[in-house]
């Protein structure tokens, strides 16, 4: 796999049983790139290992005053220099390719999982942790995959050099060969503690990143309530904990580095002392001593890869574990059993009894906002099951569209026919034209959707902020999550985006909660007009939106308890009236139990109706 071939057509099915298994799966899927990097690494390492032999030949040639052997040694040194340069260049090229392709594979897997889970992802994993996994953790994982082949090349080169030295000069070569395993494995007792400290640092860094992400996302609200100093203090404390954990981790790695400097130094001193003794006694030549000493010195370079692979694994293992936590999430336990079907008809939820007739605007009132959000998710099909021991996704009946279970058709098909707009929709950065350039039926234009969502003031504000001379609002860039806009403006732009898609069934969760009453009335009328003949479900408690609906459904404690139009339910259903008029529980109980109080309440209800009629 080359960088130019990215992205992968299919990143594969990862092994998410554990972090180490995921790392092994990544390495196995890049076996070709690993072998290329290993080959170039061996060429590079062995060419370096050949330098001591040629230097020893050159030194001995000078001692023996042999010009021919000196020229030969010089030519060999030049050839080895060329091989070292080529091997190092290609090793770096292939290793970086392994890094980038591994990181790209992980990012594609995360993107695919994010698209699969949708809004369910942030309910089960904090947004800051997702950001940490898709940025810093991906780099750590790529580092380990890249270092793996270089470590394998260094380890192989060490074995070959030790064997070669033992054959070339047994008296000194055996000494080096016996010392190398000790040097390579001396740091193993220190690695568990270093790994634990690295894990602690990564965990604290992830929490700090999560806190920073959440703080930035809610900065407008924090400034409104004067809470920015409180959260700034929390982030300062979190960042100081990260600093202290990083210092403790760095101390362990410094100790490991010191050990890897001290022990090779002791080996070289011992080698020089013993070799000099042998050369003085005439048992070995000076050139042989230079060869063995140079080889032992250059062997310290591949030894460094043992430290690097230990560090890479220590940092990548917790990163891989966090990636596995995200990649192991599943939206539903059901598999698609119906292919090639585009359902159409009434939208029905067997669990609550909610029915949204085809072509009508149905408003749903829930006393519990959380219950409304869960029900809105269920209507979208492939609803997420709560991660608890009591949860049994297979026991929950699927939502039906035209009699077809949405959980039995592919997820892409379900999302094409039913679109759910969350209570807090997200606007991605880009121009307004890019925001509205979404998969759609093509029957609803962007202008019509913007008009229905009452985005006139938003267009004027974007036109003033436009960098073009003609002030085209469609070409004005919207900042990340629409932070340059007010809450009501963001909500209406998100509604326009949903209207443009023109799905068979559109589910809106509190689509007008952030706008004023005058705008809300016009938005409700715009939705009803634009979606005429299409199935629309809106979860709301605003009288202005409820009055624009064709039918209103009251859901109480997970079941439909009343169906009718807004005015009828306002007169006949105390629970509905309590939600819509914001009555307290005590007032509702008194109204239900005392007929005289119910009579006294009727003028107030009439006043509410008169206000609605004037609106």
pLDDT digits (tens, 9 = 90+) for 137-152: 888 888 898 888 888 8
DSSP for residue 1 = -
| pLDDT surpasses 80 at 250 | yes
| pLDDT surpasses 50 at 594 | no
Would you say the CATH fold of 347-385+396-582 matches that of 12-327?
no
CATH of domain 12-327: 1.20.1560.10
In the three-class reduction of DSSP (H, G, I as helix; E, B as strand; rest coil), residue 328 is classed as coil
Give the per-residue pLDDT at 365: 94
Q: Is 203 exposed, middle or buried (0-12, 13-18, 19+ CB in 10 A)?
A: middle
Asked if omega into 7 is within 30° of 0 (cis), the reply is: yes
What are phi and psi for residue 366, nearest 5 degrees? Answer: -125, 135
CATH architecture assigned to 347-385+396-582 = 3-Layer(aba) Sandwich (3.40)
**Residue extents of the structural domains in the chain:** 12-327, 347-385+396-582
Report the distance separating Cα 505 and Cα 493, nearest Å: 19
Give the model confidence (pLDDT) of 467-509 as tens digits.
665 678 888 888 766 777 888 888 999 999 999 999 999 999 9
What are phi and psi for residue 55, nearest 5 degrees? Answer: -65, -40
- Please tell me which residue, 423 or 212, carries the higher pLDDT value: 423
Give the model confidence (pLDDT) of 214-244 as tens digits.
666 665 555 656 556 777 777 788 888 889 9
Q: Which two tokens stand for residue 251?
A: 């101390």
CB 535 within 8 A of CB 358: yes
Give the per-residue pLDDT at 318: 82
| pLDDT surpasses 90 at 200 | no
What is the separation of C-alpha 225 from the centre of its chain, rounded to a whole number of angstroms? Answer: 30
CB 307 within 8 A of CB 256: yes
Give the model confidence (pLDDT) of 40-74 as tens digits.
988 988 888 788 778 878 888 888 888 888 898 88
Report the distance separating Cα 600 and Cα 596, nearest Å: 6
Report the distance separating Cα 471 and Cα 596, nearest Å: 62
CB 112 within 8 A of CB 134: no
Angle at which helix 286-298 crosses helix 228-280, to 10 degrees, equals 170
* Residue 510 backbone zone (phi > 0: left; psi -120 to 50: alpha; other: beta): left
| pLDDT surpasses 70 at 608 | no
Q: Which two tokens stand for residue 94?
A: 């292939």
What are phi and psi for residue 391, nearest 5 degrees? Answer: -70, 135
Query: What own/partner pairs with CB < 8 Å and gap ≥ 24 does 401-404 have?
Result: 401/343, 401/344, 401/345, 401/346, 401/347, 401/348, 401/504, 401/505, 402/343, 402/344, 402/345, 402/346, 402/358, 403/343, 403/345, 404/338, 404/341, 404/343
Report the distance separating Cα 109 and Cα 106, nearest Å: 5
């Amino acid at each position: 796999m080359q960088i130019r071939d990215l992205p992968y057509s299919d990143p594969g099915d990862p092994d998410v049983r554990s972090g180490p298994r995921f790392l092994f799966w990544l390495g196995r899927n890049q076996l070709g790139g690993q072998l290329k990097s290993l080959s170039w690494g061996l060429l590079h390492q062995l060419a370096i290992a050949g330098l001591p032999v040629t230097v020893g030949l050159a030194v001995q040639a000078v001692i023996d005053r042999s010009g021919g052997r000196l020229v030969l040694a010089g030519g060999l040194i030049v050839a080895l220099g060329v091989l070292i340069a080529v091997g190092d260049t290609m090793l770096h090229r292939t290793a970086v390719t392994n890094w980038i392709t591994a990181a790209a594979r992980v990012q594609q897997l995360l993107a695919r999982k994010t698209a699969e889970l949708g809004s369910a992802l942030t309910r089960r994993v904090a947004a800051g942790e997702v950001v940490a996994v898709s940025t810093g953790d991906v780099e750590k994982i790529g580092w380990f995959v890249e270092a793996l082949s270089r470590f394998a090349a260094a380890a192989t080169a060490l074995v070959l050099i030790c064997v070669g030295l033992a054959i070339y000069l047994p008296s000194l070569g055996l000494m080096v060969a016996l010392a190398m395993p000790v040097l390579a494995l001396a740091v193993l007792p220190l690695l568990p503690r270093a790994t634990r400290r690295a894990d602690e640092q990564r965990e604290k860094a992830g929490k700090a990143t999560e806190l920073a992400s959440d703080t930035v996302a809610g900065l407008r609200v924090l400034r409104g309530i004067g809470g920015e100093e409180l959260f700034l203090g929390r982030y300062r404390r979190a960042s100081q904990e990260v600093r202290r954990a990083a210092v403790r981790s760095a101390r362990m790695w410094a100790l490991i580095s010191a050990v890897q400097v001290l022990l090779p130094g002791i080996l070289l001193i011992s080698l020089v002392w013993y070799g000099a003794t042998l050369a003085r006694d005439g048992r070995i030549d000076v050139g042989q001593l230079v060869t063995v000493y140079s080889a032992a010195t250059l062997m310290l370079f591949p030894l460094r890869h043992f430290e690097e692979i230990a560090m890479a694994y220590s940092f990548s293992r917790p990163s891989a574990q966090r990636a596995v936590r995200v990649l192991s999430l599943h939206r539903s336990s059901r598999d698609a059993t119906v292919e090639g079907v585009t359902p159409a008809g009434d939208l029905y939820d067997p669990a609550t009894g909610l029915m949204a007739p085809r072509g009508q605007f149905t408003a749903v009132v829930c006393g519990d906002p959380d219950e409304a959000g869960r029900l809105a998710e269920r209507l979208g099909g492939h609803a997420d099951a709560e991660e608890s021991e009591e949860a049994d996704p297979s026991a929950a009946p699927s939502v039906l569209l035209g009699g077809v279970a949405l959980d039995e058709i592919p997820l892409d098909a379900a999302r094409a026919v039913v679109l759910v707009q969350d209570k807090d929709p997200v606007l991605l950065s880009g121009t307004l034209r890019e925001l509205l350039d979404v998969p759609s039926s093509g029957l609803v234009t962007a202008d019509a959707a913007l008009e229905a969502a009452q985005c006139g003031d938003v267009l004027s504000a974007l036109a003033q902020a436009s960098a073009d001379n003609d002030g085209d609002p469609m070409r004005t860039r919207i900042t990340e999550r629409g932070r340059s806009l007010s809450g009501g403006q963001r909500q209406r732009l998100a509604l326009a985006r949903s209207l443009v898609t023109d799905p068979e069934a559109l589910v809106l969760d509190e689509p007008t909660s952030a706008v004023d009453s005058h705008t809300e009335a016009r938005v409700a009328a715009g939705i009803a007009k634009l979606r005429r003949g299409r199935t629309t479900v809106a979860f709301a408690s605003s009288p202005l939106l409820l009055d624009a609906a064709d039918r209103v459904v009251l859901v109480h404690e997970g079941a439909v308890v009343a169906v009718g139009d807004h005015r009828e339910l306002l007169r006949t259903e105390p629970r509905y009236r309590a939600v819509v008029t914001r009555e307290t529980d005590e007032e509702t109980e008194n109204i239900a139990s005392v007929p005289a109080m119910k009579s006294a309440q009727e003028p107030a209800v009439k006043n509410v109706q008169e206000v609605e009629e004037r609106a």
